[in-house]
Amino acid sequence: MIEDWQKLDPEPAARILSEINPLLEPVPFSEEDTTLRKSALPFYDGYELIELTDMSAVPAARKYAMYKPGEPVVIDWTNQPIYDTNEKSPIALTSRNILDYVRFFFSYVRGRYGRFLIIENVDDIRWQVEPPVQGRKVMQEMLEPLHLVEYDVEEDVYHLEAFMMFKDSLFKTKIHVHSDGLVSMSDEELKIEGMPVLQDSAA
């Protein structure tokens, strides 16, 4: 879902940028130097994910927003913009889009000490030093894709399992998502620590 980007033509890009620009800090992006791409957000009615890239900066400056005509919401790497949009849209979670929502949530929420990155295969890991072939094979055999374990009808909660990376540590965890989009984690099980990985950057 997140990687299914489509570049916007100049006219719709300029229109959307004009709505998002007043919300950007510290400075707005210029129309001449900015390209926009969009991706679907299947759990919302009418919202799309917008990526704005200002090519005049070195390195390029990048911002993200959830966009519905007249209702842009800039992503600030806290969970608040997502939770606000969940209530306003409102969010509509199903067994078909719950994985998309969880991937989206953890991609665009950053805590005080960094992001919890979902790791579904060994190529998702940003290595500082590539492990030997055998090491990659052993790790790949251990990893599992993000998956739905069960939906609790009475509690209206989706229960999932995932492998995640936080800083230089890989762990397995349970993820719980309520029907209103509230996300929590439990039963974290450390698998590997001190891995030679690049430090995560949310930008």
Of all residues in the chain, the percent with pLDDT exceeding 70 is: 97
pLDDT grade for 202, boundaries at 50, 70 and 90: low
Cα–Cα distance between 77 and 83 in angstroms, integer? 12
At 182-199, the pLDDT tens digits run: 999 999 999 999 999 988
Strand 61-67 vs strand 73-74: parallel, antiparallel, or unpaired? antiparallel
At 101-122, the pLDDT tens digits run: 999 999 999 988 889 999 999 9
At 135-145, the pLDDT tens digits run: 889 999 999 99
Cα→Cα distances 59→27, 62, 67, Å: 16, 9, 25
Tokens of 37: 């791409």
Cα–Cα distance between 146 and 101 in angstroms, integer? 11
Domain boundaries, the chain: 6-75, 98-192
Tokens of 86: 């969940």
3-state SS assignment for residue 114: strand
3-state SS assignment for residue 40: strand
- For the ranges 99-103, 129-133, 137-141, 154-158, the lowest mean pLDDT is seen at 129-133
For the question of whether the overall pTM of this predicted structure is more than 0.85, the answer is: yes
Rounded to the nearest integer, the mean pLDDT of the chain is 94
